[in-house]
Structure 1
């Protein structure tokens, strides 16, 4: 679906107005709701009038789209969004976010009418929504550039990791775990005029950035001021990349940059832009949330709504709370989608009436497995047992309706067949054909012939014997009248013998129908147990994968902290390196604690699902008073 979304121009995702503040726009949410693919969210932030929009238009492979403007007035207000097919990742949608310029002079002049944290909130939202964050600046990466990026130092004050406060001083601070959730960081330096070299040795753009992020030893206020933004960037953004760009054209042509043809733009700049775009397209990861869940467009819209609503309330956005709210919505949607898939698949494959219950249950098993597969692919681990139990309950209800419909279809077909086959018998009864000596034997012979023809008919379904028994029972009164009128049966003992024989035959037929019913009930119970075991198996697999991702995330964070510790030691910052070592030790302890608790947690979750399933099945059987036989 997402590949067919056509957005000729960007739309505003989050409006930033003086009167209402930050407001999520419904038009953008509607667009995102139709993007069912994973999204790669590339956002750009930076000072106003630094050419951010031009780079974003290039990433969309367009010349125009995001407004460039040509004056000192910031054109982009709030956060604007452009969804385009991803040029390198089939099955993904590229979501480009162009943000309002930070430090807009016009906003500073009107500060009394604006939230003084306005720019900070724009930057916070950009970080929270993106999987790759591009910071755009001009000139060089010097102290002035770092000072202009002071918003990064406020992230720890404006973002919470957990909803509940920390319980122990030994636990890591929220900000020390931001590395797990923050986007890749790309610094784009525009109008760069320096030579990329240190001490006469040529260096790469990435080395230029890392040199600019080196810390100074000491504890004076000046050094703390110097180190703080650099420390935050190093701590929050493990994946870092740098690109430098020459000035794209002559100064007088910059005002119409989006109108310039390629031969009017500096060739070196075009190569730099091509290199930049290729890197972003090829390496930017899909947006994920805790547990490694890929974010779709619809989920991205929900995250934007949650974060903005929190900011509007005066609170600080919380990653845990946002994911819990997202999990609730996604798990509900996953149940609905899975039940819909199950019902659609059953409708496509079930041709009523099915000949046997076993055939129907085999189709049910296949369709349920597909539905469960869909649910597990979409569902979050948060409270998953209750949602999976709800899926089990709803699928059970739909299955029972198919069973009921199958029985009804079989009944209708069998009754129609008997009605058609018995027309000649009914006519002979009306005509008195059996009111003759030997009439009873003649009637029984015709009745048996009718039964033989009926049994030969294909496709009667599961109610074939039950409907036949009901038919024969209705004919008992007629048979008795014919028997009494049969002048050939004058001997009383012969009459009694014949009646006893008929009763024995009817009793055997009733027992046969009852045996089939009990066999079908056993099949249904066995299918319920199979279904429950399949749900348990898939839940265990889902939880094991989730735990593996959780451990992988902790390992990545430990690896990042270890690298940072080594870098601090190389820079001669032993105190900071010691602090990083202690932090890594706590992470290692958390890693092994988490690993040891995984199996017991999985067992508890699996048992919870089994208990919920048992309640569902007992409730389903409450009408007949049955209970789940553990021996089956």
Structure 2
């Protein structure tokens, strides 16, 4: 994108809505995304930081008046400067606290969306991080009422799990003029932030009101960083910040800005969903639509519901993509039909593996194996269709070959060359030569034996007529030759049935190998999902342990004890979630295995029927008189 576009706007009805043009842009981004959102009071210079992250001087409008310039949430997608194969998505949000709006709920929704969509949240403020600045970040305290983690109908507070999914937090303090000192000693920017978020002892209403927003920031955001920016230039030039030459800007300001950008580029992680699922641009678009539609309906956005909705959309698309990979490859091969069954089966297995890989790459939380099962069933249907097309092509080639080889015989029949004494032996000799030449040329055709069987049945009519009319042969000789011909026809029927049996066994083996590969890939996928879920829980637990240690160090034993209880419950829930996931995976394997067993059972029934048919024909053959 060469410039930002509006992602979320306010409709004529006053409700938030997602812009379709922005969704179309995100739909094209199949790479993982690092999403950086900036929030803060209006007219505090948020857009300048976003432009710098985009590597541009201009882009997001800075404005030069006291009015807020950005409305809704604007988006700018650029190549990530340090992470190959990743897109950096910058979200510039409408300024909070704009007096013209007079709608605090709207501000809360904007803040909530920034938190839900980003992997790094930049809070931009001016002056210092004092109590007023923290109180202005009141939206953090409202998140417990604006975001749900689980879809349970119960009115439970699940904010203790926010730390799993919330973005890292950067507080950018603009126009900072104070010395960073704590107890007379120089302090780093991060130490300054933690000092400003320090809790007070006591249980009075005033102390609790003071502590509450600070507790929320510490509890919800797993990582916190601070940057203090000095004045960028002389006050009269601030309104022209986007057009100023770097030489006209303070070197200290540029140094902090450069550090800020490098930190964001190197430390901001790819956006993840619940259970550690990586977000692509396409998924980010779906998320934005889901969350905005939920808010517009008056409901509370739920992370679990969002994941379920995304899984359905992505898994359906994953099945479609997998089938396209399989079908496009088989369509290219179709031009070469007819082919040996082994070649078609080998191609099927290779493309089935690729289709499954494509599916696995995009799918997630296919908890009951429903979508993988759908992929398998559709691939098997397509495979059967291509086998049928290959057989039809083989049948046409074999029939054409027999037609060509039997032209001289057909001409002799027309001219009556076999309608004389000794004509049967001449006809039989010509027929043997046709069969011999046919077998040498069509021995690898999948329909060779079946077409030859049909051909011999047709020629048996002519053969009987010629045999009965041949006056050179005695009745006894005619009977012997007729029995010999019946035996030959039966043997060809047996060969055709045996060839069908061999082909069925080959197809069964191809299905077995494809299913084993499918199961192997699913096992890898499940192990990866469980690993991500475990890592997510471990990161959250580490954050809580650090928070508890900090509380103990600063003398907040009661709060640390409550934190212990919270962590025990947290561990119990994580253990339960992991067990549930393991059960889901076991059930999924069971479903996939069951589907495969049904397919094999159907093939085995065909196999059994063909074996029985061969036995019956052999029994008939043993009763035939063969000279």
**Residues 1:48 and 2:8 aligned together:** no
Seen in structure 2, the aligned counterparts of structure 1 residues 338 and 244 have a Cα distance that, compared at 3 Å, is same
State yes or no: 1:422 paired with 2:393.
no
Provide closer, same or farther for how the CA distance between residues 201 and 29 of structure 1 changes in structure 2, counting only shifts above 3 A. same
CA distance in 1, matches of 2:609, 2:183: 85
After superposition, the Cα gap between the structure-2 partners of 1:329 and 1:600, relative to the gap in structure 1 and judged at 3 Å, is closer
TM-score, reference length from structure 1:
0.92
Match in the other structure for 1:122: 110
> What CA distance in whole angstroms lies between the structure 1 residues aligned with 2:403 and 2:123?
81
Q: Structure 2 residue aligned with 1:462, among 446, 451, 454?
A: 446
The answer to whether the 8 A contact 1:352-1:406 is kept is: no
Q: Distance in 1 between matches of 2:609 and 2:499?
A: 17
Determine which of 438, 442, 451 is the counterpart of 2:426. 442
SS of 1:48's equivalent? coil
Q: Which has the higher mean CA deviation after the structures are superposed, 509-518 or 267-276?
A: 267-276
- Change over 3 Å in CA distance of 1:233–1:459 after alignment to 2: farther
Alignment: residue pair count: 610
CA contact (8 A) 1:354 1:360 kept: no
Q: CA deviation at 1:18?
A: 6.3
Q: Tell me, in whole angstroms, the C-alpha distance in 1 between the residues paired with 2:183 and 2:280.
A: 47
Distance 1:506 1:541, change over 3 A: same
Secondary structure at 2:101 match in 1 = helix
Aligned residues of 1:88 and 1:281 also touching (Cα < 8 A): yes
Residue 571 (structure 1) aligns with: 554
What CA RMSD, in Å, does the superposition of the two structures yield over aligned residues?
A: 2.2
State the shift of 1:417 in Å: 1.5
Corresponding residue for residue 548 of structure 1: 531
Cα deviation, residue 608, structure 1: 2.4
Say whether residues 1:34 and 2:28 are aligned partners: yes
TM-score, normalised to structure 2, is 0.93
Q: Which residue in the other structure is 1:179 paired with?
A: 163
Bigger mean CA deviation after superposition, 136-145 or 347-356? 347-356
Q: Whole-Å Cα distance in 1 between the matches of residues 248 and 9 of structure 2?
A: 35
**Partner SS for 2:171:** strand
Output the CA distance in 1 between the equivalents of 2:321 and 2:464. Answer: 58
Which of 91, 99, 105 is the equivalent residue of 1:105?
99
Shift of 1:339: 0.9
Structure 2 gap segments, 5+ residues each: 611-627
Match of 1:11 in 2: 5
For residue 515 of structure 2, the aligned residue among 510, 527, 532 is: 532
Trace 1:194-205 onto structure 2 (pairs within 5 A).
194-205=178-189
Matched, 1:518 2:501: yes
Structure 2 Cα separation of the partners of residues 118 and 626 of structure 1: 71
Contact 1:353 1:461 in 2 (8 A): no
| 1:472 CA displacement | 1.6
Does residue 66 of structure 1 match 2:60? yes
Look up the match of 2:89. Answer: 95
- Asked if the contact 2:367–2:585 (Cα under 8 Å) also holds between the matched residues in 1, the reply is no
CA distance in 2, matches of 1:248, 1:18: 38
What is the CA–CA distance in structure 2 between the aligned matches of 1:622 and 1:507, rounded to whole Å? 23
Q: Could you tell me which residue of structure 1 aligns to residue 486 of structure 2?
A: 503
Q: Note closer, same or farther for the CA distance 1:509–1:58 as it changes in structure 2 (3 Å cut).
A: same
Please state how far the C-alpha of 1:530 moved relative to its aligned partner.
3.5
Once the two structures are overlaid, the 10-residue window that deviates more, 538-547 or 557-566, is 538-547
Give, in whole Å, the separation in 1 of the partners of 2:289 and 2:545: 36
SS of equivalent residue, structure 2 residue 177? coil
| Corresponding residue of 1:630 | none
Question: Structure 1 residues 297, 599: closer, same or farther in 2, change over 3 A?
Answer: closer
- Displacement, 1:526? 3.5
How far apart in 2 are the matches of 1:548 and 1:144?
A: 42
Q: More displaced, 518-527 or 44-53?
A: 518-527
Contact 1:353 1:459 in 2 (8 A): no
Query: How far is the alpha carbon of 1:591 from its aligned partner?
Result: 4.1
Provide the C-alpha distance between the structure 2 equivalents of 1:623 and 1:149, rounded to a whole number of angstroms.
71
Matched residue of 1:277: which SS? helix
Within a 5 Å distance, the mapping from 1:294-333 to structure 2 comes to 294-333=278-317
Residues 1:347 and 2:325 aligned together: no
Deviation at 1:540, TM superposition (A): 3.0
Q: Is the 8 A contact 1:413 1:460 kept in 2?
A: no
Report the alpha carbon displacement of residue 240 of structure 1 after superposing the two structures with TM.
1.2
Deviation of residue 561 (structure 1)? 0.9
Q: Is residue 84 of structure 1 aligned with residue 72 of structure 2?
A: no
Contact 2:368 2:584 in 1 (8 A): no
* 2-structure distance, mates of 1:553, 1:610: 30
In the TM superposition, residue 370 of structure 1 has moved relative to its aligned partner by 1.2
Aligned to 1:210: 194
Matched with 2:594 is 611
In structure 2, distance between residues paired with 1:277 and 1:583: 36
CA distance in structure 2 between the aligned counterparts of 1:624 and 1:316, rounded to whole angstroms: 57
Structure 1 residue 620, shift from structure 2 partner: 8.8
Q: 2:174 maps to what in 1? A: 190
Whole-Å separation in 2 of the counterparts to 1:475 and 1:138: 99
Question: 97-106 vs 194-203, which deviates more?
Answer: 194-203
* In the alignment, structure 1 residue 580 sits paired with structure 2 residue 572: no
Residue 149 (structure 1) shift: 0.4
Is 1:158–2:146 an aligned residue pair?
A: yes
Q: CA deviation at 1:196?
A: 2.2
In the alignment, structure 1 residue 132 sits paired with structure 2 residue 130: no
2:483 is equivalent to residue 483 of structure 1: no
How far off is 1:293 after superposition? 1.5
How far does the alpha carbon of each residue in 1:102-126 deviate from its partner, in whole angstroms, 9 at most, with x for none? 0002112xx5xxxx40100000000
2:129 counterpart of 1:145: no
In structure 2, what is the Cα distance between the partners aligned to 1:199 and 1:91? 46
Whether the 8 Å contact between 2:504 and 2:607 is mirrored in structure 1 is no
**Matched-pair contact (CA < 8 Å) for 2:398–2:448:** yes
Partner secondary structure for residue 106 of structure 1? coil
Q: Give the superposition deviation at 1:525.
A: 3.1
SS at match of 1:107: coil
Shifted more, 433-442 versus 209-218: the winner is: 433-442
